[in-house]
A = this chain, B = another copy of it.
Amino acid sequence: MFTINENYLKLQGNYLFSTIAGKVNEYKANNQDADIIRLGIGDVTQPIVPAIIEALHKAVDEMGTEEGFHGYGPEQGYAFLRETIAREDYRARGCEIKADEIFISDGAKCDVGNIQEIFGIDNRVAICDPVYPVYVDTNVMAGRTGAYNSITNGFDHLIYMPCTPMNGFVPELPSVIPDIIYLCFPNNPTGMTITKERLQQWVDYANKNGAVILYDAAYEAYISEKGIPHSIYECEGARTCAIEMHSFSKNAGFTGLRLGYTVIPKELQSNGTSLHSLWNRRHGTKYNGAPYIVQRAGEAVYSEVGKKQLSEQIAYYMKNAKTIREGLTSYGYTVYGGDNAPYIWWKVPNGKKSWQFFDELLEKVQIVGTPGVGFGVNGEGFFRLTAFGTYENTIEALERIKRM
């Protein structure tokens, strides 16, 4: 009789956002006229900007002609996009990353989920707590953790690095040395950032201890302050210890178009085997490239007019972030984040639990957020709001919260 991957059974309940969607759907079924404002899942709401729409139409037209048709592309992505990224996201920032070190994919979630496959099962994994659930869940599914421990409320064998108001939501260098370290800055869910100096400490720590850093830079486009790194490759020595993952979802609204990329410098090796070659093998064997038309859309993100239109879109969301942050603060709440990230990390008032507050907000004022505890034990007592709603909804949400 065939057997299943028993590691899946260690997972606790559903994927966080599926659980939220279930609760919201149930509420809607019982309250059909409810005007729900969704500030939960990190999904954007503004349409794709004209420069990208134009690039898509052009690419679609190509696909309908014999000369312009594109079938299987390179699994690693088209050179036109890899070269554009190398130039715009790296060389322009003084980072030495070559086009052939960039792997295009259908989104950062897939890359973040799949990257662990190229590592051994015996590696010890360190994650921030709270954290984007995909880092933990995919390592659980691969068998890189023990069982869920209901005393610690975490998985055995994982190294949890608390991110709390006490440490400014930037974890301390762990005393138990991990092999694989997941970092995400600007952070999801806390909306907080790391300075270049602090990130350099992490790079030095990883190099010294033979660890690899998996750096999720999905929110870098929201950085407005100086001194905050957009890429881990701004730090010296990162080429020998870091993999970086990027999304087109947050900077360009590609949540429904699906595009991302992962950078693996060729120097990054374990006992002479380059991680670049392993990921290249994985991409070639299990993946067939992102759609040509979407890669052309990705290229338009970096055009002059594309950049201008997108900077306005980001400004729009950051105006929402400011509105939420300042609004909640003025009502006497404690909030973090929202300066260089589209997330606001809200300290739940009156010592309430995150899920209790979720239910309360949904039932009393029909606002959907994300319970902090869904991201880990240290998220208990917090609540994540996103700036990705419309401005009108954001204002309305704050009015409702004020009344509550």
Contacts and interface: CB of A to CB of B under 8 A. Distances in A.
Nearest to A112: B286
B256 A179 contact: no
Contacts of A46: 66, 69
Contact of A256 (B43, B48, B70, B253): B70
Contact of A2 (B50, B180, B290): B180
A261 B4 CA distance: 21
Interface in A354-372: none
A256 B180 contact: no
B210 A72 contact: no
Contacts of A41: 72
B109 A106 contact: no
B2 A72 contact: no
Contacts of A255: 71-72, 288
A70 B45 CA distance: 8
A134 B258 CA distance: 24
Q: How large is the interface on A (under 10, 10 to 19, 20 to 34, 35 or more residues)?
A: 35 or more
Nearest to A287: B110
Interface stretch (A5-13, A96-104, A168-176): A5-13
A36 interface: no
Given A1-B179, A6-B120, A273-B9, A69 B57 contact: no
A53 B61 contact: yes
Closest 10 interchain pairs by CB?
Answer: A1-B210, A113-B286, A3-B120, A2-B179, A71-B255, A53-B64, A43-B71, A70-B256, A15-B284, A47-B69
Interface of A: 1-6, 8-9, 11, 14-15, 18, 41, 43-50, 53, 56-57, 60-61, 63-66, 68-73, 106-107, 109-110, 113-114, 117-123, 133-134, 137-138, 141, 179-180, 209-212, 253, 255-258, 270-271, 273, 275, 278, 281-282, 284-294
